[in-house]
Amino acid sequence: MALFVFLPDGERLFAHGGAQGSQDTGPWVQPNTVFKLKSRDGSRELASLTVGSKDCGPATFQVQPAALSACTPGAIVRLSWDARSGGSQIVVLYAHLPDGERPFAHRGAQGSQETGPWARPNMMFSLRSQDGSTELARLTVGLESCDPTGKNRRLGAK
């Protein structure tokens, strides 16, 4: 197996080994860093994990479910937030799509919003101030392996 990390300057091999193992990272890992487990030759993706973050900014931002199956062509997720401590009265939810980011909801400082069935695994969402100038929080929906037998669990699952 091969474990790749996706950094701003591109994809890099992070670790390789057998069918089971673990590897510590250095302090370079940031929220939203993506790791992908692939076959040794890199031709087949087996699992993906996006590093999350703890709430430390002006807003809390959560998604349910936290991960979507690779077998699901599209799904609905519920985004929940609380940006009252950041002084916001109205927030804008953005979806980061392959062709760019798009606002899809304007709501109060606290609330929730469901997406349409267009949400995909590894899709990123951001929560911004009403004028869009300040990002209050960001999150990425995870990816679960498509394995009906349950033998190959999501990377990082116990």
Condensed to tens digits (0 to 9), the pLDDT of residues 103-119 reads 999 999 999 999 999 99
Tokens of 21: 């193992």
Whole-structure pTM value: 0.59
Q: Where are the domains of the chain?
A: 2-52, 60-143
Amino acid at 104: F
**Main-chain phi, psi angles of 86, to 5 degrees:** -85, 0
Span 96-105, pLDDT tens digits? 988 999 999 9
- Higher pLDDT, residue 25 or 140: 140
Q: Which fold has domain 60-143?
A: Immunoglobulin-like (2.60.40)
pLDDT in tens, 125-150: 999 989 888 888 899 888 877 765 55
Query: Which residues on adjacent β-strands are paired with residue 143?
Result: 68
**Cα separation of 119 and 115, whole Å?**
7
Q: Show Cβ contacts of residue 19 under 8 Å, excluding neighbours closer than 6 positions.
A: 1
For residues 60 and 50, the model is more confident at: 60
**Predicted pLDDT of residue 147:** 62
Does residue 157 register a pLDDT over 50?
no
**Res. 81 pLDDT band, cuts 50 70 90:** very high
